[in-house]
Chains A and B, each alone.
Chain A
Amino acid sequence: MTKKRKQLYLKWAIYFAALIIYITGVSIQPVWDRIDPWFGMPFSVFNIILIQILICLGLCLMYSMDRRLAKVEKEQRERGESNVY
């Protein structure tokens, strides 16, 4: 794993860790009691959907950045820059 990829994964690991803390609701418990309507659904349900969307988008974005990095690494290898790793 290259240094750049390690840095990329670290950033995303922090993002997902924050999201998992949010999901477990340790710090924001009252969120789960709110049933006032948001976009046609109770806020508690909307909150769960929002969390899922944030995870899905995070994964997709991470994959896109990962691919871009892989492309750069490949170009570097083709140019003979062997110290990519």
Chain B
Amino acid sequence: MSTNVPLVIGIIVAFFVINGIIIRRFHISQDSVEQYAVGGRNLGWILVCFSYIGAWYAGAIYTGWVANAVDMGIFVLYLGIYSIGGMITMYFMATNVWIWGKVYRLTTITDFIRLRYQNRVYSKFFSGVVVCVNFFWLCLEMITIGYCVQVATNSVIDFRLGTVIASAFVIIYSYLGGARATAIGNLVQGLAFGVVGTIVFFVLIYKTYGGPTPLFEMVRDNMPEHLSVSGYEGLWMSSVLTGIFGAYCWPQIFNRMFMTKIPSDSKKAVFVAPFIVVLVTCGLLWIGLGGNLLPGFPADHQQGVFWIANQYGGPVVLALIAIFALSASMSTISAISHAIGVMVGADFISRKDTDPIRKVKNQQYATLAVGIIAILISTLNFPNLNNVALALYEFIIQAFVPLFMGILWKRGNIYGAFTGMIAGVCVALVGFFAGSAPFTWAGGFSAGCVGLFVNFVIYVVFALAKGPQAHVKGMWDSLRLYSEDGDYLGDGTEDKQEIAKYSM
């Protein structure tokens, strides 16, 4: 792929500089755990909305998903459905999560699990599962960022160098600026790939195919099977469901609900995020649909969108596409590294009586350490990491039952949560190592979905049999302390001792 490499590099560098300047401009001192972990619970809805989009949309959609669009057709549009479907689960959880976060000073998903189920072993197990799964995605995104730099610069910058430079930039601002820096970075990056990117992709569709209608006609005439998902029924259903249920099990997505000023700010994101998601998904993935029919299309389909940009738009459009892909990767890397760092710092390094300033330092160092280890692993170029990361979805969705049910149903208890999640993870493990063969009876549903069902049944059975835990009444009583608009409704007579007992 021949292009004007210095121009492309110049535009990419300019984008990094703009990111750095804006993040620096809004930086404030990180002097408390709440400030570092959840931005002082003071971020506006626009910041949190773009932070959701940024954390959710991975750079891999510009490489792996486009390649899937080329190979599998409209199957990949499940991405858009599950992304906005995930917002449904957010909507039902947001108020309770925000109020408990405020009352009990929760900052992470495991803080919530510890509060809700009051079991140290289970919260460590839960934390271990989500951190491990998330860490694979962090490495995958770092590899993607290096790959994008390499492809956009026509291999002038090697993927390892690209990975190290771009990832290090992100890790440094996440380490220094915490949740606020990741949210502001996500806003800049989300605007780049969400708003500007959408326009560029639709322009590219017109330049490449003559518009969406000629594109679909071309695909219908030559590859009609690419316009149907009927060959993938089971996989399609599983992909949509795991995405919807798994969306808010990711710690970097869940903790967005703690960051807003008032509960309804999280919900307000529904006016912007879903529409951007739909446009990004359609614009980007439709381009890939007809890739196979373009003369000279690269054999490595992951390069597809970059090749189309260069071929039909020139070096400036190529640089823009690289910026969109880098933005998506950067926002995901910052959100994941920060979320893992905060969880590791809080759950595995600090104790409840650790000095608050020390706690912040622990979380900062953990963020840095997680980032450095991930960069080192990413440069080793492990084969099949992409497949492993995707397969790990089957594990993360097991967190949905204790999380979602625990938020909305008082009767759920530690017995059901622990045994259900272990059972679900075990079923997912069988699928991970033995493949889909043991689950052919499930009508195409994946091992993770079967595990989720088992998990759910066990949770409900234990909830009905053993009833709620003693401390849960206090949790539900505390929901009366704040309104939807974040107004304090208490009269000062709430049991402050009990609240302090369970606070983080």
Q: Which residues of A contact B (CB under 8 A)?
A: 1, 9, 13, 16, 20, 23-26, 29, 32-35, 37, 40-42, 44-45, 48-49, 51-53, 55-56, 58-60, 62-63, 66-67, 70, 73-74, 77, 85
Contacts and interface: CB of A to CB of B under 8 A. Distances in A.
B267 A66 contact: yes
B323 interface: no
A85 B480 contact: yes
Contact of A59 (B77, B233, B274): B274
A64 B377 CA distance: 46
B224 A35 contact: yes
B224 A52 contact: no
Contact of B91 (A53, A59, A74, A85): A59
A55 B81 CA distance: 9
Contacts of B274: 52, 55-56, 59
B240 interface: yes
Interface of B: 74, 77, 80-81, 84-85, 87-88, 91-92, 95-96, 212-213, 216, 220, 224, 227-230, 233, 236-237, 240-241, 244, 264, 267-268, 270-271, 274-275, 278, 282, 479-480, 483-485, 487, 489
Contact of B268 (A52, A63, A77): A63
B271 A63 contact: yes
Nearest to B484: A70
A53 B281 CA distance: 13
B80 A52 contact: yes
Contact of B213 (A33, A40, A66): A40
Given A62-B91, A70-B483, A40 B212 contact: yes
A52 B270 CA distance: 13
A1 B236 CA distance: 35
Contact of A32 (B87, B88, B212, B229): B229
Contacts of A60: 270-271
Given A41-B213, A42-B74, A56-B278, 13 more contacts: A24-B237, A25-B229, A25-B233, A29-B233, A32-B230, A35-B224, A52-B278, A55-B88, A55-B274, A63-B271, A70-B485, A74-B487, A77-B489
A59 B268 contact: no
Contacts of B270: 56, 59-60, 62-63
A32 to B, nearest CB: 5
Contacts of B213: 40-41
Contacts of B96: 1
Contacts of B80: 48, 52
Contacts of B216: 37, 40-42, 45
Contacts of A62: 91, 270
Nearest to B225: A35
Question: What 10 pairs across the A-B complex have the smallest Cβ distances?
Answer: A59-B270, A40-B213, A70-B484, A24-B237, A56-B274, A35-B227, A42-B227, A32-B229, A52-B278, A85-B480
Nearest to A43: B227
A45 B227 CA distance: 7
B317 to A, nearest CB: 24
Given A25-B237, A26-B237, A44 B485 contact: no
B242 to A, nearest CB: 11
Contacts of B229: 25, 32, 44
A73 B484 contact: yes
8 contacts: A24-B241, A25-B233, A29-B233, A35-B224, A42-B227, A52-B84, A63-B91, A66-B264
A48 B74 contact: yes
A59 B87 contact: yes
Nearest to B215: A41
Contacts of A77: 483, 489
A45 B85 contact: no
B233 to A, nearest CB: 7
A63 to B, nearest CB: 5
A71 B192 CA distance: 35
A80 B477 CA distance: 20
A32 B224 CA distance: 12
A20 B238 CA distance: 12
B220 A35 contact: yes
A64 B271 CA distance: 10
A82 B465 CA distance: 35
B408 to A, nearest CB: 9
Contacts of B275: 56
B9 to A, nearest CB: 37
A16 B77 contact: no
A3 to B, nearest CB: 13
A25 B278 CA distance: 20
A24 B444 CA distance: 12
Contacts of B264: 66-67, 70
A51 B230 CA distance: 17
B227 A44 contact: yes
B85 A23 contact: yes
A44 B228 contact: yes
A21 B227 CA distance: 21
Contacts of B480: 85
A55 B85 contact: yes
